[in-house]
Structure 1
Amino acid sequence: MTNAGSLAPEMRAVLERLAVEDGLQPDPTILPPAEGRAVTEASNRRWNLDGPKMARELIVETPDGRRAYVFIPGRDDGTRAILYIHGGGWSFCSAATHEGAARRLAQETGVPVVTFDYRLAPEHPYPAGLEDCISFWAGRDAILPERKWSISGDSAGANLAVAMMLRLDGCDPPQSGLLFYGVYDADFDSPSYVSVADGPGLTRDKMRRYWDYYTGAQTDRLSDPCLVPLRASVDALANLPPLYLNAAEIDPLRSDSQRFAEKLSAMGRQDLFEIVPGVIHGFMQMSMWLPQASEAYRRAGQAFRAMT
């Protein structure tokens, strides 16, 4: 078995604190979807506390009739913006659970971050959520006009971000991409899926259930690059904008990011990739308690400025 590394002391302290505060929590992926969402909403909204104050905050309606949440930092110069797509296995979480993430990304990049709710599986399986992201992208100038836009996302949100860029196929592309511990393949025998099969946090079995929610158990996932961007053609990947990718060391998805970064590098691209040691999947949600999360946002901001 591959060595997955050990928990950083700060990460261990956060997990111990959560165990005390929450007690034994049910696995949301084995509950009915509505109940699973209630569990994840309750557990994730805590991370919005003490979020950075913005110069302006807006709730606007998109051209396709969705609500978008806009977080504008004081340093905004009126030229750029970021679309942030939340994670949650394509099935859970929301713009509300990731408000703190959007605020922190806005603070560290110095540009407005816009997030919204897309349709969730299993009620709305692939490609519904992706279509919502593409629709949002097409109407983004109605929210903040005359801007150069980048895209960001965590976990399943990073998957949707790359899938959207692949569907755009070099037409109307984002200026850059900030991708955090994303889902880029469906290989449950990768080194990290084996070494971190049982967590802590995300597990291999949870990811299997997320995939089944999103695509159904019988779908040929590996043939569609909008499901598994790692398997996209070199020509398709060449059209992607500059990317920053990170991965959590103790995460079943770590190998997804490593392999994706290696493929991009082998093409001669100059994308940035980092593994954050000693932390688990979703760690950037925990920035009010976890210094590694705050540092990850700082690094993302630094990368964003270098790419744009």
Structure 2
Amino acid sequence: MAPQLAPEMRAVLDRLLAEDGPQPDPTILPPAEGRALSERLNRRWNTGTPVMARELVVETADGRRAYVYIPDTDTGGRAILYIHGGGWCFCSAATHEGAARQLAQACGAAVVTFDYRLAPEHRYPAGLEDCAAVWAGREAILPGRRWSVAGDSAGANLAMALMLRLAGRDLPQAGLMFYGVWDADFESPSYQAIADGPGLTRDKMRRFWDFYADAGARAHDPCLTPANAPDALLADLPPLYLNAAEIDPLCSDSQRLAARLHAVGRGDVFDLVPGVTHGFMQMSMWLPQSVAAFRRAGDIFREMT
């Protein structure tokens, strides 16, 4: 039996339908149109999020803008590089500003976001290379801090890929991974149970993967499918926190990765959040489970760092 939506999650979905009406699937529109639609619908989630003590826009060493959110609870010692989701194709630092603010407030640390090149115009590894460039130049953004990484969905995939690519060199202190893309197995239990959504669907994920990377590379490149990474690479990762939305085609991805991490002897924390859909942490202004998930991530972050 498929899992049931929590009443609060159902209320959010009903409200979105009432406010926006039926919307086209952005993955079947021309890329620029799909991106514009996703941008418009996701910027609403920036409303009512925490006010920061300081906000900065800093030019990175590779010429892009980094957006820095420093909460009043910041002690000056830690920072988090947050990589936004959107199927490697959509969204931006602007659509995830609210999430960055929530994460900063919950963790009591500065959070830095940025834009990376998007597929299908810029396929793998372009986006990952951008993440690596910002990571390498992080001292110029906020000097003298102990850095961690975080990401949601495809952004979590990029954050994990960044750590795997570093392979023991210059690793972050910790990683916060929210409902990440860890595999490309479209026959997993959750891909079958939640194939048609609500929200993210199996067909959308197939298209995201096709936009991003060749099918032949997915099985053997751990920076594409971290769930298939060798034990040695997984064992060398910094402490991780992972969560998954129960009503999400990607749920099995996180369950399987958590099992792999446990099997190599790690003590990472994994939470399954019941009754919510993919992307629920964007919805903090309406969804109490989102606020609770950020608070939980902040508590675990403090323990890990």
TM bucket normalised to smaller: over 0.9
CA shift for structure 1 position 219 = 3.2
Q: Mapping of 1:74-153 within 5 angstroms?
A: 74-153=72-151
CA shift for structure 1 position 45 = 0.2
Partner of 2:275: 278
CA distance in 1 between counterparts of 2:168 and 2:53 reads 33
**1:290 equivalent in alignment to 2:279:** no
Partner of 2:161: 163
* 3-state DSSP of counterpart to 1:57: strand
RMSD of aligned Cα (Å)? 0.6
**1:103-125 deviation digits (Å, cap 9, x = unpaired):** 00000000000000000000000
**1:153-179 deviation digits (Å, cap 9, x = unpaired):** 000000000000000001000000000
Q: Which moved more, 1:70-79 or 1:247-256?
A: 70-79
For residue 21 of structure 1, the aligned residue among 1, 19, 26 is 19
Runs (4+) of structure 1 moved beyond 4 Å?
none
Partner of 2:240: 243
Letter of the 1:225 partner, please give it.
Answer: P
Whether the aligned pair in 2 keeps the contact of 1:57 and 1:71 (CA below 8 Å) is yes
Partner of 1:42: 40
Structure 1 unmatched ranges of 5 or more: none
Letter of the 1:222 partner, please give it.
Answer: A
When normalised by structure 1's length, the TM-score is 0.98
* 3-state DSSP of counterpart to 1:219: helix
Partner of 1:186: 184
Whether the aligned pair in 2 keeps the contact of 1:85 and 1:116 (CA below 8 Å) is yes
Letter of the 1:211 partner, please give it.
Answer: W
Letter of the 1:208 partner, please give it.
Answer: R
Letter of the 2:260 partner, please give it.
Answer: K
Partner of 2:255: 258
CA shift for structure 1 position 4 = 3.0
Whether the aligned pair in 2 keeps the contact of 1:7 and 1:250 (CA below 8 Å) is yes
CA shift for structure 1 position 220 = 3.0
For residue 54 of structure 1, the aligned residue among 52, 55, 72 is 52
Structure 2 unmatched ranges of 5 or more: none
Letter of the 1:269 partner, please give it.
Answer: R
Q: Mapping of 1:223-242 within 5 angstroms?
A: 223-242=220-239
**1:211-231 deviation digits (Å, cap 9, x = unpaired):** 000014x43311110000000
CA distance in 1 between counterparts of 2:34 and 2:231 reads 38
Letter of the 2:58 partner, please give it.
Answer: V
Whether the aligned pair in 2 keeps the contact of 1:248 and 1:281 (CA below 8 Å) is yes
Indicate the percent of aligned positions where both proteins have the same amino acid. 72
Whether the aligned pair in 2 keeps the contact of 1:59 and 1:68 (CA below 8 Å) is yes
Partner of 1:303: 300
Whether the aligned pair in 1 keeps the contact of 2:235 and 2:265 (CA below 8 Å) is no
CA distance in 1 between counterparts of 2:168 and 2:28 reads 39
